[in-house]
Amino acid sequence: MIVLGIETSCDETAAAVVRNGKEILSSVISSQVELHKPYGGVVPELASREHLKKIEPIVQEAIDRAKINLEEIDAIAVTQGPGLIGSLVVGICFAKGLAFSLNKPFIGVNHIEGHIFSVVFDNPPIEYPALALVVSGGHTNLFFVPEPGKYKIVARTRDDAAGEAFDKVAKMLGLGYPGGPIIEKIALEGDPQKAKFTIPKISDGKPDFSFSGLKTAVARYIKEKGINPVTHGQEIPQEVKDLCAGFQLTAIRSLVEPMQRLALELKPKTLIVAGGVACNMLLRKESAKVAERIGVPIYFPSRHLSTDNAAMIAAAGTFHLERGERADFSITANPMMKLQNYEVEDETLRRNVRYRL
């Protein structure tokens, strides 16, 4: 089955052609980073306008690179949500029109499920049950995945997403956007022991994530130490490098510790770490240590498939299409789309994830 994937959930216009859910024939991504950089984050209206300009040529480029004709695709998969409403509408409307004109089936895909499927291209087959951490600028969730297509949230952020925290800290320090790769690079020359922060604790003891307090702690540290934002062309001061290293270490440990706790309780056969923050090498290193401790493999997507892309949407779409699922032309964008449809039946597992039932 050859599936055309389309992704426009935020600020990347992407299209990909994937065969049988695992072979990428083409993957084209148009980033809007430079467009949004002056604002320190994504401006929704600008994002949707840019998608309108780019979506047709990006899809055509994906078809051309795959060396096929549009008529040769068997189906279309498009991100239905979650995401920015204006951005999602562009992709869904384009997919609907293309499916109608070609008389091809299409399917709406959950963007977060797409991230979980992003590991299928560069890793051995997933053994289930799996535990999947999806962490990006908009999402920070941990899913128990008993089998393909079934998901149960077992941990989530109580406030901000991890990637958003990286962006905000970078903005406080005048380092630019997006914050994740900038902070990671600067942190390589810093000493995290010189700028220590406490891992946020959840008052009710649940293994959830929280980053709002960490951002506040960084803001307080900046004020107390009299650290000024870095100006363009200025050499990065050592105190900023140390701060980046300390913040990054705390943020990564905030992600890894709940994952380890739940992995020990739920005993998955595979760990998955996906989403834009999965590009962070410290997260990969610390997550790999968890996998080694519990004796299971851990799968990451390749770096170019960690950020938003359409290949992962095509892969997830292929899975649903092969199960006979189809969308009709009444589907609409769902900016708050959930990925939680598994009810725990095993009593031992039920006790372990009781805080989510």
Q: Which residues contact 239 (CB under 8 A, 6 or more apart)?
A: 195, 225, 227
Q: Are residues 78 and 139 in the same domain?
A: no
Torsions phi, psi for 242 (to 5 deg): -65, -40
Question: Residue 341: pLDDT band by 50, 70, 90 thresholds?
Answer: low
Torsions phi, psi for 278 (to 5 deg): -65, -10
Q: Are residues 147 and 238 in the same domain?
A: yes
What pLDDT sits at residue 195?
A: 96
215 lies in some domain:
yes
Question: Which residue's entry shows tokens 């902070």?
Answer: 183
Q: Can you tell me the mean pLDDT for 295-322?
A: 97
Residue 348 has pLDDT above 60, yes or no: no
Q: How many domains does the chain have?
A: 2
Domain of residue 149, residue span:
125-300
Torsions phi, psi for 158 (to 5 deg): -85, -15
Q: Side chain identity at 329, as an amino acid letter?
A: F
Q: Are residues 58 and 157 in the same domain?
A: no
Q: Are residues 16 and 93 in the same domain?
A: yes
Alpha helices in the chain (DSSP H): 33-36, 44-66, 85-102, 111-117, 162-172, 179-187, 212-225, 238-266, 281-294, 303-306, 311-322, 347-352
| Cβ–Cβ under 8 Å, residues 272 and 119 | yes
Question: Residue 355: pLDDT band by 50, 70, 90 thresholds?
Answer: very low
Minimal CA–CA distance to 138: which of 16, 9, 311? 9
pLDDT in tens, 8-57: 999 999 999 999 999 999 999 999 988 998 888 899 999 999 999 999 99
Q: Are residues 92 and 145 in the same domain?
A: no
148 lies in some domain:
yes
Q: Are residues 198 and 317 in the same domain?
A: no
Q: Is 150 exposed, middle or buried (0-12, 13-18, 19+ CB in 10 A)?
A: middle
315 lies in some domain:
yes
Minimal CA–CA distance to 142: which of 284, 310, 271? 271
346 lies in some domain:
no
What pLDDT sits at residue 353?
A: 46
Residue 204 has pLDDT above 90, yes or no: no
Q: Are residues 137 and 273 in the same domain?
A: yes
> What percentage of the chain exceeds 70 in pLDDT?
95
Residue 351 has pLDDT above 90, yes or no: no
Beta bridge partners of 63: none
Check residue 237 and give left, alpha or beta (phi > 0: left; psi -120 to 50: alpha).
Answer: beta
328 lies in some domain:
no
Q: Are residues 65 and 101 in the same domain?
A: yes
344 lies in some domain:
no
Longest dimension (CA), the chain: 63
CATH of the domain at 173: 3.30.420.40
DSSP secondary structure string for all residues of 25-52: EEEEEEE-HHHHGGGTS--HHHHHHHHH
What pLDDT sits at residue 13?
A: 98
Q: Are residues 244 and 180 in the same domain?
A: yes
Q: Are residues 10 and 104 in the same domain?
A: yes
Beta bridge partners of 130: 145, 270
pTM for the complete prediction?
A: 0.92
Q: Can you tell me the mean pLDDT for 132-161?
A: 94
Which comes out higher in pLDDT, residue 347 or 234?
Answer: 234
State the Cα–Cα distance between residues 86 and 37, nearest whole angstrom: 19
101 lies in some domain:
yes
Residue 237 has pLDDT above 80, yes or no: yes
Minimal CA–CA distance to 94: which of 80, 83, 73? 80
Question: Residue 346: pLDDT band by 50, 70, 90 thresholds?
Answer: very low
149 lies in some domain:
yes
Q: Are residues 276 and 230 in the same domain?
A: yes
Residue 303 has pLDDT above 80, yes or no: yes
Q: Are residues 6 and 139 in the same domain?
A: no
Instruction: Give the CA radius of gyration of the chain.
Output: 21
